[in-house]
Amino acid sequence: EKKVYILLNKPKDCVTTSEDTQARTTVIDIVKNACSERIYPVGRLDRNTTGVLLLTNDGDLASKLTHPKYDKKKIYHVGLDRDLEREDFEAI
């Protein structure tokens, strides 16, 4: 089977799963016409989170990117709708 790699800019209100029992839009719904191969998301982003998500059928790559034994560094960029207060830093 040929390896497929799709980068998706995941929109808000979309779940990072292949199927959803609550009939919400999934990342697979968004890319369903991109290829005929069965692909799946690598990692996850929360429903209300936007950002780049890799979908693939390459299990070896998915494992190397997500399994703790490979100790991959993850970087998140967060935007806020207000300035952080001292209490916020203490809570973090």
Would you call 60 a catalytic residue per the annotation?
Answer: no
Write down how long the chain is: 92
CB-based burial label for 28 (10 Å; 0-12, 13-18, 19+): buried
Q: Which residue among 13, 20, 29, 46 is the active-site one?
A: 46
**Apex 69 CA angle, 66 and 75, nearest 5:** 45
Q: List active site positions.
A: 46
